[in-house]
Amino acid sequence: MMRKRVSTSRLNILCKACLPPLVISSCVMLALGQAKAQAPSAHPNWPGPGQLFVGTCYQPVDRSPEEVDRDIQVMHRAGFNVVRIGDLSWDSFEPEQGKFTFDRFDTIMDKMHAAGIRVILDIPGLPAPIWLHRAHPGVDIVAQNGTRLPPAERYMDNISDPDYVREVGIMAEALTSHYAHHPAVIAIGYDNEIGNGFMSYSEADRQRFIAWLKKKYGTIAELNKAWATQRWSRRLNSFDDVDLPLADGPGPSERYLDLHRYWSDVTVERLKELDAIRQRNMPEVPSISNLWDTAGRRGFDYLSTYKGYVSYGAEGFYPGDPISGSFGALMTKGALETPIWFNEFTAGGGGYYGTPGRSRMYAYLGLMMGAQGIIAWTFNSHLGGEEQALFGLVDHDGTPSWKVDEFGRIASEFKLLSKFGFPRYTHPSVAIAYSFDSFIDSHPNGPSNTTLQYFKPSYTDQVQAAFEPFFRSNLDTAIINVGHDDLSPYKLVVVPADYVMDQSSADAIRNFVRDGGTVLMTALSAKVDEHGQWFDTPLPGRLSDVFGFKTNAFYDSAALSFELGGKSIETDVHRYEVLEPSTAQVLARFSKVADHPPALTVNTFGKGKALYLATESNPSAMGPVSSYLLQLVGIQVGPPTPDGVYARVVEGRTLYVNTTQEQKKVPIHAGKRSLLTGQVYTGAVTLAPLAADLIE
């Protein structure tokens, strides 16, 4: 097939022989000013309305040419129309430094195109190849005790190292230039699961951290103030006194917070650099990347930065349950107008080999949330290396399993559903606030920190608990960062346990309420400033006047109860704050606590209302409060369904998903026909275990 090919001389624009490393890095960074994620309407070639994609992740490095041909035949017969390849394969494209080979992937790409299968092509910046570690030891990870760690596991790469930055830019330039006009490419992905890497503690890393601190704080006096170094004789006389805070502790929370912010900025810089290269070489091709912002080792601040490098929110989808899985998926979408992509999608799950019907159920749950692409992890079962013995769609001996048939059924049904308003383009009226800073600072390291005793349940659990009742009400809900996303599209914003209240978030909440919006905040919110230090002003910090009270005391008690809207609410919550209203009106009081302090207050501020729940965000408390709020702001709940069944109305039709292992019946008023099977339901839609249906 004729297409543009890249010559080796094309790489001279980034060749080390032509430019020194820091100049090369600057060239990559220079393009960032021109690289901005654009709205879907700006890209007519992007996947759009009426297009759904089902396929698989594919690792051709594990397969012989004959097996590749056989695999593509299996995919084609199953009706797959997308694959994701290239991830984790840097040394397959560049086996030696500066020497690129694309012939084998060219053949595979051509065959995918001939079979009608589109390709998400990953820029495999992680893990870095062994030759890069050998040529540039600064790419090695250095442990907290100073020990150099060999790159034995995935993602043991120091992505802050200038040699790494330069070399990944060269590889990305070569890859995107070579495949810029290949007709199979539908999207580009960046650095599989970036965020799951290791922090490094070399002297060079310490110097880069110091440079970051100088840029952020300017003077050592400001850094001392931000880090509260007057406490226990930790004062810094110069920036040379700065050590890298220890991720495993001990260490004061202010430094721990900045450590994670620094590594977050490093991660985001790498993503923006790759996006600049894509924008330059493949401007009509979107980015759909398998990112992992909540990874435990490092993570990064996705929700305040994603619009700079994301076209479609995408993630690896391995749900433990429908609510937590949906919550995580919607975190990747944020406030994007584009649909969700599952660049890795659970293939079976629920057991060593899988559970028939489970992937199909979750595919429909994803479709309900606004998904467009379902890409099974993985096609061929892994014989060796990391994830050895992982079962894919095809067994270890190459035999297609029942999972191929299940994903083939999904592909066939999704082809039909693409005619009925899918993918869904959601327009939620409710938003839930999530903050990377609050996540980090609510569980600092070290035995001297008391926040862990204070902050129970965990921050993430409390945000999910705020999300849960709206999800059970079959309402679309956005997960956003209030300080960086526009709040005006929403009628209701819920701010659960938002421990760190920086100025931009406080201003956004203040302005939203003043202009007519409704906010619900829960206990543990707005306790510390952007440095992780407790406010010395009335709490909630920066917002006491908006909510019309102050609070200081925080108590543990027996299970709490309160009355709201004429209904008695029994909870399994034990902790509460004592609110002292000034302008706020008390809507509910705790009934089993001395003096019956306020449980829920509301304050009119400007044109809007600010409510505060004086206990942690927990489903037993948030459920009744969310129902009250929806009536207050005039938001209609979604279609009524029994427990474990979720639904959305799509262009007048209703999609039902039964996430349970039991048959469920959904009452209906008249005879309705299934658009998937043609079956006519009378009186009730009957859903088998793990079943889904679209009803006219």
Residue range 272-286, pLDDT digits in tens? 999 999 999 999 999
Is residue 258 within 8 A of residue 264, CB to CB? The reply is no
Single-letter amino acid, residue 180: A
Tokens representing residue 555 in the block? 């108590």
Instruction: At 62, give phi and psi (nearest 5°).
Output: -90, -5
Please tell me whether residue 584 adopts helix, strand or coil conformation.
Answer: coil
Write 230-237 long-range contacts (CB < 8 A, 24+): none
The pLDDT assigned to 6 comes to 30
Separation between Cα atoms, residue 25 and residue 10, nearest integer Å: 17
The pLDDT assigned to 452 comes to 63
Tokens representing residue 672 in the block? 């309705």
For 407-419, b/e burial (b = at least 16 CB within 10 A) is bbbbbebbeebbe
The pLDDT assigned to 2 comes to 29
Separation between Cα atoms, residue 236 and residue 257, nearest integer Å: 18
Is residue 478 within 8 A of residue 370, CB to CB? The reply is no
Q: Which of 418, 393, 417 is nearest to 407 (CA)?
A: 393
Is residue 656 within 8 A of residue 641, CB to CB? The reply is yes
Tokens representing residue 447 in the block? 């035995």
Place of tokens 């694309």: 102
Distances (CA, A) of 209 to 246, 260, 265: 13, 11, 11
List of domains in the chain: 8-24+51-201+260-417 (3.20.20.80), 204-243 (no CATH), 430-633 (3.40.50.880), 645-695 (2.60.40.1180)
Model confidence over 189-216: pLDDT tens digits?
Answer: 999 999 999 999 999 999 999 999 999 9
Place of tokens 């391995």: 318
Separation between Cα atoms, residue 394 and residue 400, nearest integer Å: 4
Separation between Cα atoms, residue 460 and residue 577, nearest integer Å: 20
* Other Cβ atoms within 10 Å of 296 Cβ, number: 8
Please tell me whether residue 189 adopts helix, strand or coil conformation.
Answer: strand
The pLDDT assigned to 453 comes to 67
- Order the strands of the 371-377 sheet from edge to edge: 185-190, 118-123, 82-85, 53-57, 371-377, 340-346, 314-317
The pLDDT assigned to 448 comes to 60
* Other Cβ atoms within 10 Å of 23 Cβ, number: 10
Q: Which of 484, 613, 604, 495 is nearest to 546 (CA)?
A: 604
Low-confidence ranges of the chain (pLDDT < 50): 1-42
Q: Residues 405, 411, 412, CA angle at the centre, nearest 5°?
A: 90
**DSSP tag of 10:** G
Instruction: At 67, give phi and psi (nearest 5°).
Output: -65, -35
Give the chain's mean pLDDT: 92
The pLDDT assigned to 328 comes to 97
**DSSP tag of 525:** -
